[in-house]
Amino acid sequence: MKKIFLGFALFSAIAAAALSETIEVYKSPECGCCGKWGEVMKQNGFEVTEHKTNEIIETKNKYGVPAELYSCHTGIVGGYAIEGHVPAQEIKALLAAKPEDVVGISVPGMPLGSPGMEQGDVVEDYDVIAFKKDGTTEIFASYKNGKKVK
């Protein structure tokens, strides 16, 4: 029985590693909250590779992030741009749905209470915005008082 359990545990670990996605995160060398967001992503099963750069605006432009949706860091995973402090569950939902018309998703600005921006009991409401190839945007998810409502 013990051998079966150990075999299953090893198989589960290998399967989990095979399923993990790597997020390439481009951030300013001085930004601390970006690293905190990366830690939250790791806790949610993502591999995270950080790239410190002073060319962050150029990076955002390269990956098609609209200026009005900018935040402090840009991630790339599964061919999508992830801008700012997007919750892991929304990235997983995007990767599962694989919408062909979406360039990426963003949490514009740096709302308190979003992943990596925790400040005790201070929590701001925010939306996760999908930005599309045709230039349009739509609300992908909404968070109120730290809880998903859409």
- Whether the per-residue pLDDT at 93 is higher than 90: the answer is yes
Question: Average pLDDT of the chain?
Answer: 89
According to the model, what pLDDT value does residue 19 have?
A: 57
Spatial separation of the C-alpha atoms in residues 97 and 68, rounded to whole Å: 25
Domain ranges of the chain: 22-148
- Give the CATH architecture of domain 22-148: 3-Layer(aba) Sandwich (3.40)
pLDDT per position as a tens digit, 99-148:
999 999 999 999 999 999 998 899 999 999 999 999 999 999 999 998 99
- Whether the per-residue pLDDT at 22 is higher than 80: the answer is yes
Position 114, amino acid? S
Q: Over range 2-31, report the average pLDDT.
A: 62
